[in-house]
């Protein structure tokens, strides 16, 4: 038979501490940084985000999301034969979050590795898992996006520290006789490294450079809208489908203005846009699977719906995946 892959289960997890804009503004005021709920909502659409406790790592968030996805798929943990984690905030320099997560799940032996494509990471990871299933290298893949981005934030910079949050999302991707993932399109352009980065590294037990996020917001916005539209249209063309075939658009949840602009360029009504950025903030590689699981569990997304997933992130990386849920 021709091998395809389909999503059979979704899961997500948010750390308990929820920080509204008003609460964050109050904390920042104590550090001499001015902002407000109105200022944040007007520019980003974000109303709240979740921050993990200091002792909680990406693998801990990923573990909860993974368990929920595996349960939703009707599988046992021991059925999983591939683990891919998309993250920019690993528990340690090495080994990978995927290996740590594998151990926390109580399994061993299957391949496990991380993908680092920042906010595009989940789209990259899903594409790789699909290819491995189609090749026969795996049958039941666990694909996770997990981030503790709060650890990278400069809380003296109000233009960036209000944007991000922590969380995890996961899907189980299984071999299928019918196509689930219909097409994908991935890209990167390293010349844009400087507009969104954490320009530090570890040497001799110390951080060289800066371990805090730096972003040129205007440059990111301008680039993001164009490449998201292009990737979506290319992916639709590969699948032989049109904008009107899309039931739900699930973009990386970075900024509501970028998301609205992308939907309009694809001639999609805003009613077809899945939005969680208002409650989660930008959770980087976790944002797409978080939004997907939220929409599935709320009953918005149903079996047979055509979904366009797309992301853009530091690197600069971008891509899209079209799938039949």
Q: What is the pTM of this model?
A: 0.98
Residues 149 and 297 in one domain: no
Residues 132 and 11 in one domain: yes
The answer to whether 21 is a known catalytic residue is no
Which of the residues 50, 99, 255, 282 is marked catalytic? 282
Residues 171 and 203 in one domain: no
User: pLDDT of the chain along its 325 residues, tens only?
Assistant: 899 999 999 999 999 999 999 999 999 999 999 999 999 999 999 999 999 999 999 999 999 999 999 999 999 999 999 999 999 999 999 999 999 999 999 999 999 999 999 999 999 999 999 999 999 999 999 999 999 999 999 999 999 999 999 999 999 999 999 999 999 999 999 999 999 999 999 999 999 999 999 999 999 999 999 999 999 999 999 999 999 999 999 999 999 999 999 999 999 999 999 999 999 999 999 999 999 999 999 999 999 999 999 999 999 999 999 999 9
What is the phi/psi pair of residue 52, to 5°? -80, 150
Which of the residues 99, 161, 197, 252 is marked catalytic? 252
Task: Look at residues 153, 176, 199 and tell me which one is the last residue of a structural domain.
Answer: 176
Residues 159 and 308 in one domain: no
pLDDT reported for residue 1: 80
CATH for 213 = 3.40.47.10
Contacts of 120 (CB under 8 A, 6+ apart): 186, 252, 285, 311, 312, 313, 315, 317, 318, 319
CA 219 to chain centre: 21
Distance CA 289, CA 118 (A): 14
Distance CA 61, CA 18 (A): 15
Task: Look at residues 176, 193, 210 and tell me which one is the last residue of a structural domain.
Answer: 176
The answer to whether 252 is a known catalytic residue is yes
Task: Look at residues 176, 211, 240 and tell me which one is the last residue of a structural domain.
Answer: 176
Which of the residues 21, 99, 119, 197 is marked catalytic? 119
Residues 188 and 144 in one domain: no
- Note whether 196 and 314 are within 8 A (CB): yes
Residues 188 and 156 in one domain: no
Residues 117 and 186 in one domain: no
Residues 83 and 33 in one domain: yes
Residues 187 and 297 in one domain: yes
The answer to whether 119 is a known catalytic residue is yes
Residues 44 and 158 in one domain: yes
Residues 169 and 185 in one domain: no
Q: Which domain holds residue 253?
A: 181-324
Count of structural domains within the chain: 2
């Amino acid at each position: 038979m021709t091998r395809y892959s389909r999503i059979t289960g979704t899961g997500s997890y948010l750390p308990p501490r929820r920080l509204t804009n008003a609460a964050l503004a109050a904390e920042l005021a104590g550090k001499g940084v001015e902002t407000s709920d109105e200022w944040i909502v007007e520019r980003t659409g974000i109303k709240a985000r979740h921050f993990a406790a200091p002792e909680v790592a990406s693998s801990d968030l990923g573990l909860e999301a993974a368990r929920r996805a595996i349960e939703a798929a009707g599988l046992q943990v021991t059925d999983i034969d591939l683990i891919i984690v998309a993250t920019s905030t690993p528990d340690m320099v090495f080994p990978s979050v995927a290996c740590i997560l594998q151990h926390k799940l109580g399994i061993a032996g299957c391949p496990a590795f991380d993908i680092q494509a920042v906010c595009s990471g989940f789209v990259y990871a899903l594409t790789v898992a699909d290819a491995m299933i189609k090749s026969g290298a795996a049958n039941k893949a666990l694909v996770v996006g997990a981030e503790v981005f709060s650890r990278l934030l400069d809380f003296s910079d109000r233009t960036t520290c209000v944007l991000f949050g922590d969380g995890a999302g996961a899907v189980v991707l299984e071999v299928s006789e019918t196509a689930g993932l219909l097409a994908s399109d991935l890209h990167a352009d390293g010349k844009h490294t400087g507009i969104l980065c954490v320009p530090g590294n570890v040497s001799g037990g110390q951080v060289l450079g800066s371990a805090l996020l730096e972003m040129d917001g205007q440059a990111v916005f301008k680039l993001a809208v164009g490449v998201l539209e292009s990737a979506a249209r290319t992916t639709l063309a590969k699948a032989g489908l049109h904008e009107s075939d899309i039931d739900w658009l699930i973009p990386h949840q970075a900024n509501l203005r970028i998301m609205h602009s992308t939907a309009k360029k694809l001639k999609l009504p805003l009613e077809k846009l899945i939005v969680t950025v208002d409650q989660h903030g930008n959770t980087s590689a976790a944002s797409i699977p978080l939004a997907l699981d939220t929409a599935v569990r709320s009953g918005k997304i149903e079996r047979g719906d055509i979904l366009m997933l797309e992301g853009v992130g530091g690197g600069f990386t971008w891509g899209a995946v079209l799938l039949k849920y």
